[in-house]
Chain A
Amino acid sequence: MKNVRIIPRLDIKGPNLVKGIHLEGLRVLGKPEDFAKYYYEHGADELIFQDVVASLYERNSLHEIISRTAKNIFIPLTVGGGLRSIDDIKQVLRAGADKVSLNTAVIRNPNFIKEASLKFGSSTIVVAIEAIKQPDGRYFAFIDNGREETGIEVVSWAQKVEELGAGEIVITSVDREGTGEGYDFELIKKIADAVGIPVIAHGGASNINNVKEAITIGHADALAIASIFHYHVAEQFSNNGDSKEEGNTAFLKSGRNFGIIKPSSIEEVKEQLLESGISCRPIK
């Protein structure tokens, strides 16, 4: 029985939860700890924390946020962003992460996957693949949050990643990320059907239908979702007058213009999946 996992993805910059478009143009939404706690209490199956600037500046600023969060959240937590060495991974795990997500470091040195999975166990090592579609229809992997092209074709890369010992893959469509244009089903299906390890789809969901299709058409094993959930929570927080954090600023007060993103709760997403005959862990 395959039970699809619903995984809120929190992009983090400094102390703030942010959301961009195409992994760029970041807007501050609030404190990651508050969102993480809300998601834990409302049926999230796991959480992903991604430090969206760590990779650029070669630094790891997440540890404090992780350890504050991990003390009160009893679901798996994956952390990514700027992890370059066995020691980087060790520190993040010690702070309370259960898994790490690697991209730039493993593109530069694929054997790092092998080294890390032997050291920490395959199930601890998630490889993130950020893909951009080329004019000829192929997809290439990018690093540094979609800023740098590698010339590596993603399907063969996904297979290599599996061979080297990764336990899971997160596939991000950089073209779709934050746009709400829907997941890139073609990309997700290519990857999900090419490997024997679970594939988490990320990038582009604007509504529950997109989520369903990533599973039925794209064959995703799990969904990483940001905007749909974050905007829903931001609405809850600001309705409760709870948006005290410095981060919850202009964007949220601007009449909450979420474009084509249709905010939904995890409960709503799961209910609709179950109604469509897609298995997942029900909330009650």
Chain B
Amino acid sequence: MKVAIVDYGLGNLFSINQACLHVGLDTKITSNLTEIKNADAMILPGVGAFGDAMNYLKKSELVAPIKEFVKTGKPFLGICLGMQLMFTDSEEFGSNEGLNFIKGKILKFPSHDTQNSIVKVPQIQWNQISENTDEIWSNSALKNIPKKSYMHFVHSFYAKPENDNHILTYTEYADIKYASAVIKDNLTGFQFHPEKSGELGLKIYENWAKTIIK
């Protein structure tokens, strides 16, 4: 089973690759169109700015191949900024168009909470993930992961899907309860970094790996 980890010049691919290898996945860090097309599953990583990432994807002519891949129904996993790119658009530095797999927006965390205390942005910490519904949770890569588990987060922006049914988990920060994982058909997105979330995170990769059909 070949997993294409999309390399578009942004993001640290090492740790995602390590986690995949650890759970027995065969990976290829690539921007090669044929390799992407022939992969059995795809991971879209990313750190940094939404607009930059979309520009890099466009420049590498990867937008169309990624959209084609998603249409095949093969498993697709977006991580951190990779999850945010799955949405319609972002308010980061003006408006930027995303891949539009899931209707919704990417918004910035406020600098102060409802008590007017400073909120540190980016959120860099371990935080809890809670279920949207039991059913969505148990039909995702989170099945057999205890609810309210702590995962490692690093981000300044958060996703707001239009349709609640696309929300897999909620997390709270800056007095905002936001979508920290999303799911839609063959698409899964994690705002947190399962590859940096210890043994539980690895279990998530293991679960996701089982959804890949050769």
Contacts and interface: CB of A to CB of B under 8 A. Distances in A.
Interface of A: 1-5, 40, 45, 70-71, 74-76, 93-96, 98, 120-124, 167-168, 193, 196-199, 221-222, 280-282
B154 A93 contact: no
A74 B47 contact: no
A74 B201 contact: yes
29 contacts: A1-B173, A3-B126, A3-B127, A3-B150, A4-B125, A5-B124, A5-B125, A70-B15, A74-B19, A74-B22, A74-B197, A74-B201, A74-B202, A75-B196, A98-B12, A98-B196, A120-B12, A121-B10, A121-B47, A122-B122, A123-B155, A167-B122, A167-B124, A196-B118, A196-B119, A196-B120, A198-B124, A198-B125, A221-B120
Contacts of A199: 120
Interface in B122-144: 122, 124-128
Given A40-B198, A93-B14, A1 B48 contact: no
Given A76-B196, A281-B126, A197 B47 contact: no
Interface residues of B, number: 37
Contact of B15 (A2, A45, A96): A96
Nearest to B194: A74
Given A94-B14, A123-B154, A282-B150, 20 more contacts: A1-B127, A1-B128, A2-B125, A5-B125, A45-B126, A45-B152, A70-B18, A76-B152, A76-B193, A96-B15, A96-B18, A120-B47, A120-B48, A122-B122, A123-B155, A124-B12, A167-B122, A196-B121, A197-B121, A197-B122
- The 6 residue pairs across chains A and B that have the minimum distance between CB atoms: A121-B48, A121-B47, A281-B126, A281-B150, A123-B154, A198-B120
B35 to A, nearest CB: 20
B199 A74 contact: yes
Given A1-B172, A121-B10, A281-B126, A74 B120 contact: no
A75 B47 contact: no
Interface in B171-202: 172-173, 193, 195-199, 201-202
B14 A197 contact: no
Contacts of B154: 76, 123, 167
A124 B156 CA distance: 13
Interface in B43-72: 47-49
Contacts of B122: 122-123, 167, 197-198
A196 B18 contact: no
A96 B14 contact: yes
A121 B82 CA distance: 13
Contact of A193 (B111, B118, B155, B202): B118
Given A3-B127, A198-B120, A75 B14 contact: no
Contacts of B202: 74
Contacts of B125: 2-5, 45, 198, 221-222
Nearest to B155: A123
Nearest to A197: B120
Contacts of A71: 18
Given A123-B124, A123-B154, A93 B12 contact: yes
Contacts of A197: 120-122
Contacts of B12: 93, 98, 120, 124
Contacts of B172: 1
